Amino acid sequence: MARSPLRFLVLILAISICDAAGIFHPISDSHRSAALDLFKPVDGSFASLEEAYEALRTFEVLGIEKTAELSKATCKSVLGTLESSSSTPKDLFYALGVNGILKCSSKEETFEGIISSLQAVVRDANSLLDFYYSIGSLRLIKDQTSKTDLHLSDAEGTFRSIKALSQSDGRWRYSSNNPESSTFAAGIALEALSGVVSLASSEIDQFMIGAVKNDIVKLFDSVEKYDDGTFYFDEKLVNMREQQGPLATTSSVVRGLTAFSSVITESLNLTGDKILGIAKFFLGIGIPGDTKNFFDQVDSLACLENNRVSIPLILSLPSTVISLTKKDSLKVKVNTVLGSHAPPLTVTLVRAFSSSARDNSIIENQELKFDPQDAVYFLDDLPASFDVGEYIFVFKMLVQDSEQQTVYATGTLTQVPIYVTGLIKIENAKIAVLDSDLGSVETQKKLDLAGESTVSVSANHLQKLRLSFQMSTPLGNAFKPHQAFLRLRHETKVEHTFVVGSSGKKFEITLDFLGLVEKFFYLSGRYDIQLTVGDAVMENSLLRDIGYVELDLPEPPENASRPPPQPVDPYTRYGPKAEITHIFRAPEKRPPQELSLAFLVLTILPLFGFIIGLLRLGVNLKNFPSSAVPATFAVIFHLGIAAVLLLYVLFWLKLDLFTTLKTLCFLGVFLMVVGHRTLSHLASASAKLKSA
C-alpha cells in the first residue's frame, strides 16, 4: 500500500514539472543559501586568488556579508601577490579583483612597479589572454587608485592588434598562431577592447569601434535557441582541450558585451528579445552545483542587471495553481534578474485558453491591476466559465514611460501554464455482483467515496464484479482524471490492478472471475478492494479502501502456476528487534542483624587470641637484623604481610574475588622472595652464634 501513493504522486509531479519548464524566477534566497554552502574557505582562506575572487564577487552580488577572518587571510595573500616580482598578469588580475572588493590597504609605490611591468606585457603581447589579463589589471588599478592619468602608450595600436584576431563570423582566435576561432574567446576579446577604450588617452578610431559593433551583431546571429524562448551560445571548437560549455561560453559573451557597451557612446543594434532570452537561460539553470558555474551564472546576471544594451525584466507567478474552491486570484510579479523592482508597467493578460482547446479563448486583453504594497499585478475574479483544467495564460508587458521602453527588455509575449483546480463531484458509486450467464444483479451496494464507510460482498468464479461511478467538474462538465485504478489485494499480499474505463461522465469496470482464475492463481479468500482516482487539477483525489470481496475459486489443477514470492519488508528484516526483558532471581532472605554481628565477633576472636598468644610467648625484636640490607628486607617483609591483611579487609569491603586473587598472587611471590632473604639471614646469624 505504501508504494501505491508513491506512484500516484510521482506521475502527478512529473506532469507538473514538464509543464512548468518555461517558468523563470529571479535570483532568490535559495541562491544565497547555496552560495554559503558552495564557497567554503579552508582555514579562513581559499586555495587560490581566482577562487577567492569568484567567491567574493558572488557574495558581493548576492549581498552576503564577508567575515573578518576571510578578509584578513585573503588580504594577506593579495598583498603578497602584488608585492612579488614573479607574479604573472593572471595572478595580478585576480589579486586586484579581490583588492577591489575587500579594499585591502596597499602602497602606491607597489602599483608603480606593477603598472610598468603590465605596460611592457601589453607592448609585447601576442595572445588574447595576455592582452586580457594585463589590460584588465591596468583597468582595475585605475579604478582603485587616484591615477586618472593612467593610459596605454599606444591604445589604438593595441586595439588593432586585438581586432586582428577577430573572424568574419564574430568569433575570435586566441592567438595569430592558432587558426581555431572561439565564441568564448569573443567574450574575452570584447572585455579586453573595453579596457583599451577606457585606458586610451584619446578617442579610438570610430571606424574600428563600428567594426567591433558589426562583429557583435554577427556573433549574435549565431546564438542558439531553445523551444522555451531561451537563447545561449555554445562553443564549436574542434580542439576538445579548449572546449567550454554553454554556461561558460554564454557568460563570457555577456561579460564582454556589457563591458564594451559601457565604454562606447553609440548603442548596439541588438534586439531586447535576445538579451531577455539569455537572461532566461541563466535563470532556467536553477542553482548550479559547481562553484565555477555558480559564479558564471551570478556574475552574468549582475552584468545584465544594469547594462546599456537592454535590461531584461522577468515575469513570474508566485503560484501557477489557482483554486476555484478557495477563489484564488491571479497574481503576477515582474522583477529584474536579481529581484529588484521593475519600473511602472502595464501588464495585460492577452488571452487565456485551455491546453486542450487552443482556439477557444476564455479571456482576452484583460489589464491587470497593480498592488503597490505587495508589488504584484493581479486579476480579481476569473470568468464564471472557468472550469478545472490546464490553461495557457499569455501575458504582455509594456513600460509606461516611453523613454524607458528602449532601456528595458520585456519581450513580446510570455506564455505561462496555469492549473485551475477544484473539487470534483463523485456520484452514483455502486458495487454489484452479477450472474455470469444472465448478467442479472445478485447483490448491489452503494458506495460513499467521500466518506470512510466500506462494503463487503461475496462471489464465486461463475460471477462478475462491477464497480461504477460518475465524475463531473464544478460546472457539471464531464471529467476524465489522469488515473483511475481498481486494485484487489489478497490476504497473501498478492495484488492485481485494473484500469477503470470511462464513457463521458460514467466510469465503470466489470471483472469476470471465470476468466481471471488463472491470473488470481486460484487463490480463494478475502480480497481488499482499493480505488485510486487522481489528477493534477483534482483537489479531492482519493486513494482509499472501499471494502472487500470474499471470493470462492475452484481448486487449482496440478500444472497451475503458483503466485510469485512476495518481497520481504526490509523494515521487518533489518529494523529494530523487540526489547529483551530480563527477570532476575529474587534475592535470598537475609539472616537477622544480631546473628550477623555475633558471627563477626566470632571471626575476630582468633585475631585477638593470636595477639594474646604472642604476648604470652614473650615476643620481642631482639633478633631483628641490625645490618642495613637484612634490616631493609625484614621491614619490607613485614610491610608485605600488612599489605596482605589490608587486601583481606578490602576484599571484605569492596573488591571482588578475581581482583583479590590476582593481587594476592603478586603479593605472595613478593613475600616469598623477601621472606626467604630475611629467614636466610636469621638462620646464618643463629649458626654463627652456636659455633661461637
Question: What pLDDT does 249 receive?
Answer: 95
Q: What is the pLDDT of residues 129-178, one digit of tens each?
A: 999 999 999 999 998 887 778 889 899 999 999 999 999 999 999 998 88
Cα distances (angstroms) measured from residue 2 to each of 8, 454, 564? 11, 20, 19
Higher pLDDT, 73 or 14: 73
- Give the residue-averaged pLDDT of 537-547: 94
Cα–Cα distance measured from residue 398 to residue 368, given in angstroms and rounded to the nearest whole number: 12
Is residue 231 within 8 A of residue 172, CB to CB? The reply is no
pLDDT at 334 (0 to 100): 96
pLDDT range class, residue 13, cuts 50, 70, 90: very low
Q: Cα 246 from chain centroid?
A: 22
Q: What is the mean pLDDT of residues 598-609?
A: 87
Non-local (6+) Cβ contacts of 571 within 8 A are none
Cβ atoms of 209 and 264 within 8 Å: the answer is yes
Position 173 scores a pLDDT of 93
pLDDT band of 22, cuts 50, 70, 90 = low
Q: Quick one: pLDDT at residue 305? A: 95
d(CA 692, CA 688): 6
Tell me how far apart the alpha carbons of residues 377 and 131 are, in angstroms, rounded to a whole number: 48
The region of weakest confidence among 66-80, 296-310, 320-334 is 66-80
Give the confidence band of 237 by pLDDT, cuts at 50, 70, 90: low
Per-residue confidence band for 7, with pLDDT thresholds at 50, 70 and 90 = very low
Q: Is the pLDDT of residue 403 over 60?
A: yes
By C-alpha distance, which of 554, 465, 550 is closest to 511?
Answer: 465
Closest CA to 122 of 150, 157, 91: 157
| pLDDT at residue 71, rounded to an integer | 83
pLDDT of residue 213: 95
The SS3 of residue 202 is: coil
Q: Which residues pair with 409 in a beta bridge?
A: 312
pLDDT digits (tens, 9 = 90+) for 355-385: 888 888 999 999 999 999 999 999 988 888 8
DSSP for residue 39: -
Range 206-215, long-range pairs (CB < 8 A, 24+ positions) = 208/156, 208/159, 208/160, 208/163, 209/264, 209/266, 211/163, 212/163, 212/166, 212/260, 213/264, 213/266, 213/268, 213/269, 215/166, 215/170, 215/186
As a whole number of angstroms, the distance between CA 116 and CA 153 comes to 11
| Phi and psi at residue 6, to the nearest 5° | -65, -45
Read off the C-alpha cell for 413. 509575449
- pLDDT tens digits for range 32-53: 999 999 998 887 789 899 999 9
Residue 11 has pLDDT above 60, yes or no: no
| CB contact at 8 A, 287 and 240 | no
pLDDT band at 611 (very low <50, low <70, confident <90, very high): confident
Average pLDDT over every residue of 498-515: 93
pLDDT over 60 (residue 2): no
Q: What is the torsional sign of CA 267, 273, 274, 277?
A: positive
The H-assigned helical ranges of 203-356 are: 206-221, 246-261, 272-284, 291-305
The mean of the pLDDT values for the chain is 89
- Above 50 in pLDDT, residue 8? no
Cell of 653: 569491603
pLDDT band at 688, cuts 50/70/90?
A: confident
pLDDT band at 440 (very low <50, low <70, confident <90, very high): confident
Q: Distance between CA atoms of 119 and 112, rounded to whole angstroms? A: 11
pLDDT bracket for residue 300 (50, 70, 90): very high
Q: Each residue of 444-484: pLDDT tens digit?
A: 999 998 888 899 999 999 999 999 999 999 999 999 999 99
Question: What would the mean pLDDT of 181-195 be, rounded to a whole number?
Answer: 95
pLDDT reported for residue 585: 82
d(CA 132, CA 472): 66
Per-residue confidence at 66, pLDDT binned at 50, 70, 90? Answer: confident
Identify the band that residue 16 occupies on the pLDDT scale cut at 50, 70 and 90.
Answer: very low
- State how beta strands 501-503 and 483-490 pair: unpaired
Percent of the chain with pLDDT over 70: 95
**The pLDDT of residue 572 is above 80:** no
